[in-house]
């Protein structure tokens, strides 16, 4: 009887020891997987966030410029003297600032629609192997997106031929994208540039403007 009790106690002790060892191995595997997989999840999430942001900016600006096309003459005032020589080339601050605000608000509205997304990352992608990328069942990962947008209007002059100058207006956007991923938030910067308007100025252009780039708003 005593031998049976001792044997049962030894078996129970061994079982507890094996369970404890199994638990340690399991925890170690989880920690290793987290250390190994987290950077891959973040890299995948940031790439996806950058793609979403770029697409949102391009679509927003393209749609806005199609709906609210502003002629060059409304944005820029060209002053000439009696002989027809160009005396000054100035941006209409009110018109430019109004367009700038409209672009910024449109882009932010489009980005806010991308607030929270569920990324379905193929497990093969998380192995880091090129052969397995895009393969296997998907791991759902929650990602939140928020952004701030800076908008500038840039004026550029360049030679366009004999006694001719090309004047172009560009809108430059810089979006600071904050992606909330498991672990810690990440930040990525997305920049885009779009041509707003251009014209050819005939005649001498003051040296102050020719072959020069500057931010006008």
* Neighbouring C-beta atoms of residue 202, cutoff 10 Å: 13
122-160 tens-digit pLDDT:
766 666 666 667 677 777 777 777 788 899 888 888 877
Alpha carbon distance 43, 149 (integer Å): 22
- Assess whether pLDDT exceeds 60 at residue 2: no
| Euclidean distance between CA atoms 150 and 58, whole angstroms | 15
pLDDT above 50 (res 212): no
d(CA 55, CA 33) in angstroms, rounded, equals 32
Range 63-75 average pLDDT: 82
Q: Quick check: 68 pLDDT over 60?
A: yes
Please give the residue that has the higher pLDDT: either 204 or 82: 82
Residue 208: what pLDDT? 44
Strands 116-122 and 164-180 come out as unpaired
**pLDDT value at position 12?**
64
Share of the chain above pLDDT 90, in %: 2
Question: Got the DSSP string for 87-141?
Answer: EEEEE-HHHHHHHHHHHHHHHHHHHHTTSEEEEEEEHHHHTT-TTTTT-S-EEEE
**What pLDDT score was predicted for residue 10?**
61
Centre a 10 Å sphere on the Cβ of residue 169 and count the other Cβ atoms it contains.
Answer: 23
Residue 82, class by beta-carbon neighbours within 10 Å (0-12 exposed, 13-18 middle, 19+ buried)? exposed
Indicate the pLDDT class of residue 112, thresholds 50, 70 and 90.
confident
Ranges 176-180, 202-206, 213-217: which has the least confidence = 213-217
- Sorting pLDDT into bands at 50, 70 and 90, what band is 74? confident
Q: Of 117 and 150, which is predicted with more confidence?
A: 150
Write out the DSSP string of 129-197: -TTTTT-S-EEEEEEEEEEEEEEEEEEEEEEEETTEEEEEEEEEEEEEEEEE-SSSEEEEEEEEEEEEE
Contact 104, 151 (CB under 8 A): yes
């Amino acid at each position: 009887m005593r031998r049976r009790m001792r044997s049962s106690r030894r078996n129970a002790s061994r079982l507890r020891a094996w369970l404890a060892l199994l638990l340690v191995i399991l925890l170690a595997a989880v920690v290793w997987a987290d250390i190994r997989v987290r950077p891959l999840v973040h890299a995948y999430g940031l790439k996806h966030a950058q793609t979403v942001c770029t697409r949102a900016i391009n679509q927003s600006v393209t749609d806005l410029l199609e709906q609210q096309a502003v002629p060059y003459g409304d944005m820029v005032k060209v002053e000439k003297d009696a002989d027809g020589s160009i005396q000054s080339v100035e941006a209409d601050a009110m018109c430019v600032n109004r367009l700038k605000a409209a672009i910024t608000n449109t882009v932010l509205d489009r980005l806010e629609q991308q607030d929270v997304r569920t990324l379905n990352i193929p497990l093969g992608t998380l192995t880091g192997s090129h052969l397995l990328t895009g393969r296997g069942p998907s791991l759902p990962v929650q990602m939140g997106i928020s952004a701030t947008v800076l908008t500038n209007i840039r004026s550029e002059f360049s030679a366009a031929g004999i006694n001719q100058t090309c004047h172009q207006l560009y809108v430059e956007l810089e979006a600071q994208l904050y992606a909330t991923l498991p672990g810690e938030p990440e930040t990525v910067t997305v920049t885009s540039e779009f041509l707003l308007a251009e014209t050819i100025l005939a005649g001498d252009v003051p040296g102050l403007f020719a072959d020069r780039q500057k931010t006008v708003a």
